[in-house]
A and B are shown apart, each in its own frame.
Chain A
Amino acid sequence: MNKIRIIFIREYTTRVRNKTFLLSTFLFPLIFILFFVGSAYLSANSISKSKVAIKDETGLYVNKLKSKETVEIEYPENVSLSNYRSIGYDALLIIYGNENKADSVRLFSEKQTGLAVDEAINSQLTRIDEDRILQQKGVSTVMLDSIRKATEGSPINYRSYKQSGTELKEDNKSLSYGIAFGSGLLIYITLFVYGAAVMRGVMEEKMNRIAEVIVSSVKPFQLMMGKITGIAAVGLTQLLLWILLITILSTGASFFLGAENLAEPGVMSGGINAMNQQNELAMKMLSIKANMMQANWALIIGCFLFYFLGGYLFYASLFAAIGSVVNEDPQEAQSLMLPVTMPIIFAFIIMTSAIENPTGPMAVWGSMIPFTSPIVMMARIPSGIPETVAYWEIGLSMLLLIGGFLFTTWMSGRIYRTGILMYGKKPSWKTMMKWVVGGR
């Protein structure tokens, strides 16, 4: 035990002092927050209107298309493909057809127009067509207007709720999607990053022949466990620092933006627009924050750490076993890694469908089997415990994962202790199985 500790300390300290570690630990939260603030900022400021000229060959749509938030629509005369830019339009919409019916509608522009422009034009065209057909069928203009008013003025208030016992919670699907995808992706990436770190560490010890010096003082299993737990601690340190730094930075950012906004209430007319934008940005941040608060963070972070650690331990020993049998040629590592990386990639694929459908059979099975459960379960948990994921499911999944990593550690330990001292030809899978099953 004491020797595992010594190895653990070495692994931990040399890695934590490493420049790459420090850089990635402190840069990632910064980039994350910048991205976050940046996207909030952009969404508050991105109301840049596209000016669209309409050339209606049918005459059915004249002056019926209206300007919206994202588009400014005009019907200039004598506009054509060759001149719309020179007379100051971003895009030209040509409606082909005859006075009975539009055959096709084409939008031309130099720069790509946003999806919002397409959406604004398309929905209006459909609406205008509907109106025309209804009128042809005998619906009066007055009646049509009143129908439109009734539906436009008060859109149906649609919200979904989650029922837990007698309590109703507003169901924030996009939030749980986000958390599910984010945590699944993070586990996916960390499995690869830290798994590969274990493998490279083992390979380094084997290549340097230091393994032989060390296993003459400690058991190979102790060496392997010291390395795996040391790197696990590095991973946990990094994750905890990320969580901490992101919390601090995001609080700081929203406070900063909010305060600045309140500090200039009496901006003169010229600044009103700017102030509005500031306000809007602060509001956006606030609403995102309020949204975020709906999630059960303690539970999610707790589960995340468990599945990160469990998944890491499950795979790390397999990566260690691979590292131990590889010789000088990194090509060998590639081919041996495939059977280990495949389930991780597969888990990621299951995860994407599990986010959409957290109770489907793929999701449920994927979240039980230890090969995929760390990633898939993290995709299911944000949609609710115990409403979507029953307590027994989580319990069983965790137990299986613990059992799984005990098994892989045992198996890898047996491959590792032979492989670490074997030089020359790469052993076949059959030979490796013999090491596992064989005697001492």
Chain B
Amino acid sequence: MNSLLDIQHLKKQFASHLAVDDISFSLGKGSIFGLLGPNGAGKTTLIRMITGIFYPDAGNILFNGKAYNPEKDPSNIGYMPEERGLYKKMKVGEQILYLAQLKGLSKKEAFDKSRYWFEKLEMTEWWHKKVEDLSKGMSQKLQFVATIMHEPDLIILDEPFSGLDPLNAEIIKQEIFELAKKGASIIFSTHRMEQVEEICDHIVLINQGKKILDGSVSEIKQQFKKNTFLIEALPDNALFPSEQFQVLNQKSNRWEIRCQPDMKTNDLLQYFMNQGKQIHAFRELLPSLNEIFIQLVDKQKEKSN
């Protein structure tokens, strides 16, 4: 897979602190990439360097294999910041045409494309409304259209679902998948881990300006798994303890069990059967990204203290 964006040893120093400290990663074409990190980790600074708002103090950004060109490349990027911004007094149609023209579309192209998207997302009757008359969810949708309308190769979405009802969130999610299928790469910045697990195929976790995790979602989960299993069995009387595993939690007929690394899952099941239990379900418990996130951030906090 060709990479669209290569970030190499990026650094950005602000007056008092190092906002981004030697971060590298690359982003494949058509991939959906989760950029995670606690508040103040340096995500926004990193994104602003990618969108050409800030210049990095050191390091390189390669866009399509070439050094980032602040003149041309921004028109190939769509950026939706976390704090939404639209001119309140402007009409929806004029606003979308204006933003599209700033991205380099001609007035005609802007008009045609906005028509297409407005119809697709059922926003046509908003065209003559003022932005201040839109609900939060509506202006969110509008902002999403403004971000992707010029069909950029790179789309950066900062918390794209905040403020959306489940129905509209689903619509936007499907659009994101579709855009990725068509070849756009998407950077998805959020705190909502369940969304990341659902949408992203690759994540980078940064904290205090440093990259602390990088990989595909399934790899990372494998990497952080702790041999924990869930077993449902009857009868639900207590289990005779064993040295090979530890019962983390038992709720009626559900056991959460952590095995020693050398124990095989079949042996675990065998042990249950030998105790005279009828097994109804069995599966491995992988850590959620949320747990990994908290674990790593806490660990780093301890280190720095």
Q: Judging by beta carbons under 8 Å apart, are B102 and A211 in contact?
A: no
In the bound assembly, the distance between CA atoms of A217 and B152 in angstroms comes to 12
Residue from the list B51, B79, B86 in contact with A210, Cβ < 8 A:
B86
Contacts of A180 in B (CB 8 A): none
Question: From B86, which residue of chain A is reached at the shortest CB distance?
Answer: A210
- In Å, the complex CA distance between A219 and B73 comes to 12
Which residues of A have CB within 8 Å of B77? Answer: 216
Is A149 interfacial (CB-CB < 8 Å)?
no
**B87 in contact with A210 (CB, 8 Å):** yes
A213 at the binding interface (Cβ < 8 Å): yes
- The answer to whether B81 and A212 touch across the interface, beta carbons within 8 angstroms, is yes
Q: Hey, which bits of chain B sit against chain A, CB under 8 A?
A: 15, 48, 51-53, 55, 70, 74-75, 77, 79-81, 83-90, 94, 98-99, 101-104, 143, 146
Q: 1/0 per residue A160-204: CB within 8 Å of B?
A: 000000000000000000000000000000000000000000001
Does A440 reach chain B (CB closer than 8 Å)? yes
Please measure, in the bound complex, the distance between the C-alpha atom of A204 and the C-alpha atom of B52, giving whole angstroms: 22
Residues A216 and B83 in contact, CB atoms below 8 Å apart: no
A7 touches B85 (CB 8 A): no
| Main SS at interface, chain B | loop
Residues of chain B contacted by A204 (CB below 8 angstroms):
87
- Contacts of A211 on B, CB cut-off 8 Å? 85
Residue contact B53 to A214, C-beta cutoff 8 Å: no
Give A216 to B154 CA distance when docked, in angstroms. 12
Contact A209 B84 (CB under 8 A): yes
Q: Evaluate whether A3 and B102 lie within 8 angstroms (CB atoms) in the complex, with A213-B79, A216-B52, A216-B74 already known.
A: yes
Question: Are A208 and B102 interface neighbours, CB within 8 A?
Answer: no
25 CB-based A-B contacts, threshold 8 Å: A6-B101, A10-B94, A14-B89, A14-B90, A208-B87, A209-B83, A209-B84, A209-B85, A210-B85, A212-B53, A212-B79, A212-B81, A213-B80, A213-B85, A215-B53, A216-B52, A216-B53, A216-B74, A216-B79, A217-B74, A217-B99, A217-B102, A217-B103, A421-B48, A440-B55
B85 is contacted by which of A3, A208, A217 (Cβ under 8 Å)? A208
Nearest residue, chain A, Cβ from B54:
A421
* Smallest CB separation, A439 vs chain B (Å): 9
Q: In whole angstroms, what is the CA distance A210 to B85 when docked?
A: 4
Among the interface residues B89, B94, B102, which one has the most CB atoms of the partner chain A within 10 A? Answer: B102
Q: Across the interface, do A213 and B98 meet the contact criterion of CB distance under 8 Å?
A: no
Contact in complex: B88, A208 (CB < 8 Å): yes
Chain B residues near A6 (CB-CB < 8 A): 98, 101-102
Give the B-binding residues of A (Cβ under 8 A): 3, 6-7, 10, 14, 204-205, 208-219, 421, 431, 440
**In the complex, what's the smallest C-beta–C-beta distance from B217 to chain A, in angstroms?**
27
Nearest to A420 among chain B residues (CB) is B53
Which residues of chain A are near B94, meaning CB under 8 Å?
Answer: 10
Q: Report the minimum CB–CB distance from A231 to chain B (whole Å).
A: 15
Q: Which of A213, A217, A218, A431 is in CB contact (< 8 Å) with B81?
A: A213
Q: A210-B87, A214-B85, A216-B51 are in contact. List 5 more A-B contacts (CB 8 A).
A: A204-B87, A208-B86, A214-B99, A216-B52, A216-B53
Chain B residue numbers with a CB within 8 Å of A7 are 102
Report the Cα distance A17→B86, complex, angstroms: 19
User: Which residues of A lie under 8 Å from residue B98 when comparing CB positions?
Assistant: 6, 10
- Contacts A208-B85, A208-B87, A421-B48 known; A213 to B55 CB distance under 8 Å? no
- B106 to chain A minimum Cβ distance, whole angstroms, is 11
A209 CA / B15 CA spacing, docked (Å): 23
Given that A217-B103, A421-B48 are known contacts, is A212 also in contact with B83, CB under 8 Å in the complex? yes
User: Quick one: which of B53, B90, B99 has the most chain A CB within 10 A?
Assistant: B53
How far apart sit A368 and B265, CA to CA, in the bound complex (Å)? 90
Which residue of the partner chain B has the closest CB to A208? B85
A93–B225 CA distance with the chains assembled, in angstroms: 109
The reply to whether B99 and A213 form a contact with Cβ atoms under 8 Å apart is yes
Residues of B within 8 A of A205 (CB): 85
Complex-state Cα separation, A213 to B53, whole angstroms: 10
Question: Complex: how many Å from CA A35 to CA B55?
Answer: 57
- In the complex, the chain A residue whose C-beta lies closest to that of B146 is A213
Chain A residue nearest to B83 in the complex (CB): A209
Nearest A residue (CB) for B53: A215
Residues of chain B contacted by A208 (CB below 8 angstroms): 85-88
Q: Which 3 interchain pairs have the tightest Cβ spacing?
A: A210-B85, A209-B85, A209-B83
Compute how far the CA of A42 lies from the CA of B86 in the bound complex, rounded to whole angstroms.
Answer: 53
Q: Which B residues touch A14, using CB under 8 A? A: 87, 89-90
Give the distance to chain B from A428, nearest Cβ to Cβ, in Å: 12
Closest Cβ neighbor of A5 among chain B residues? B101
Chain B residues with Cβ below 8 Å from A421 are: 48, 53
A213 CA to B74 CA, complexed, in Å: 11
Task: Report the Cα distance A204→B104, complex, angstroms.
Answer: 24
Alpha-carbon distance A10/B102, docked complex (angstroms): 11
B91 nearest CB neighbor, chain A only:
A14
Q: Closest residue of chain A to B150, judged by CB?
A: A217
CA distance A217 to B99 in the complex (A): 9
Report the nearest B residue to A213, measured CB to CB.
B85
Instruction: Give the interface centre of A205, A213, A440 by most chain B CB atoms within 10 Å.
Output: A213
Chain A residues with Cβ below 8 Å from B87 are: 14, 204, 208, 210
A34 to B2, CA, bound (A): 74
User: Which residues of A have CB within 8 Å of B52?
Assistant: 216
- Residues in A with CB closer than 8 Å to B143 are 213
Contacts of B89 in A (CB 8 A): 14
Cα–Cα distance between A163 and B36 once the two chains are bound (Å) = 80
Determine the distance from Cα of A204 to Cα of B85 in the docked complex, in whole angstroms: 10
A325 to chain B, nearest CB (A): 15
Contacts of B51 in A (CB 8 A): 216
Q: How far is the CB of B147 from chain A (nearest CB, A)?
A: 8
Which residues from chain A contact B90 at a C-beta distance below 8 Å? 14
Taking CB as reference atom, which chain A residue is nearest B51?
A216
List the B residue with the shortest CB-CB distance to A13: B94
A73 to chain B, nearest CB (A): 65
Q: How many Å lie between the Cα of A427 and that of B146 in the bound state?
A: 32
Distance of A219 Cα from B69 Cα, bound (Å):
13
A3 to B104, CA, bound (A): 8
Contacts of B55 in A (CB 8 A): 440
A210 to B90, CA, bound (A): 12
Min Cβ gap A225→B in Å is: 14
Q: What is the bound-complex CA distance between A314 and B273, given in angstroms?
A: 87
- A223 nearest in chain B by CB position: B102
Nearest-neighbour CB distance to chain B for A86, whole angstroms, equals 64
The contact of B102 among A212, A218, A431, A440, by CB within 8 Å, is A218
